A and B are shown apart, each in its own frame.
Chain A
Amino acid sequence: MTGKGQFLILTSIMMTTAILILTAMVTNSNIRILNSQKITVPLPLINAVEDFPRAFKVSLKLSSISYNSSNHNLSYANSTAYTFINNWMDNFTYIHDGRGVSVYINHFNVSFQWNNSNYWWSNATCSIIIDGKPAGFSEINKTIRYGIVVTDLVKLDNQINVTAYMFNSGIPVKLNVLQVKVNGSTVNDWIQHYYGLGVNGVEIDNTSLNNASSIEILFEFQGILIKVHRDYSASP
Chain B
Amino acid sequence: MRRGQIYLIGAVASIGFLIMFTVIAFSFLRLQGGSTSMDVLFKKGISALKSMASSGALEDYLSSGDDEPVRIILETILPPQTYYCLTIEDQNSIYNLESFEPESTIQYVYTSSFLNRTYVITLKLAVRK
Residues of A within 8 A of B (CB): 3-4, 7-8, 10-11, 14-15, 17-18, 21-22, 24-25, 28-29, 31-32, 35, 40, 43, 46-47, 50-51, 54-55, 57-58, 61-62, 84, 87-88, 91-92, 94-96, 222-223
Contact = CB atoms under 8 A, between A and B. Distances in A.
A18 B21 contact: yes
Contacts of A22: 21
A91 B7 CA distance: 71
B24 to A, nearest CB: 7
Contacts of B112: 58
Interface string B15-26: 101100110110
Interface in B86-116: 106-113, 116
Given A4-B3, A25-B21, A15 B113 contact: no
B2 to A, nearest CB: 11
Contacts of A50: 50, 53-54
A43 B106 contact: yes
Interface residues of B, number: 35
A15 B25 CA distance: 15
Chain A: interface secondary structure? Answer: helix
B100 to A, nearest CB: 21
Contacts of B55: none
B15 A28 contact: no
Contacts of B36: 35
Interface of B: 3-4, 7-8, 10-11, 14-15, 17-18, 21-22, 24-25, 28-29, 32, 36, 43, 46, 50, 53-54, 106-113, 116, 118-120
A31 to B, nearest CB: 7
B111 A88 contact: yes
24 contacts: A3-B4, A7-B8, A7-B11, A11-B14, A14-B14, A14-B18, A15-B14, A25-B28, A28-B28, A28-B29, A29-B28, A35-B36, A43-B46, A43-B108, A47-B109, A50-B53, A51-B110, A51-B111, A54-B111, A55-B111, A58-B112, A84-B118, A91-B109, A95-B109
A43 B108 CA distance: 8
B111 A32 contact: no
Nearest to A38: B39
Identify which of A46, A47, A222 gathers the most chain B CB atoms within 10 Å of its CB. Answer: A47
Nearest to A54: B111
Contacts of B43: 40
Contacts of B54: 50
B53 A51 contact: yes
B22 A57 contact: no
B127 to A, nearest CB: 19
A11 B11 contact: yes
A125 to B, nearest CB: 18
Given A4-B3, A28-B28, A58 B116 contact: yes
Nearest to A99: B107
Nearest to B27: A25
A62 B111 CA distance: 13
The listed residue with most B CB atoms (<10 A of its CB), out of A29, A40, A91, A222, is A91
Contacts of A32: 32
B116 to A, nearest CB: 5
A18 B106 CA distance: 42
A4 B11 contact: no
A11 B10 contact: yes
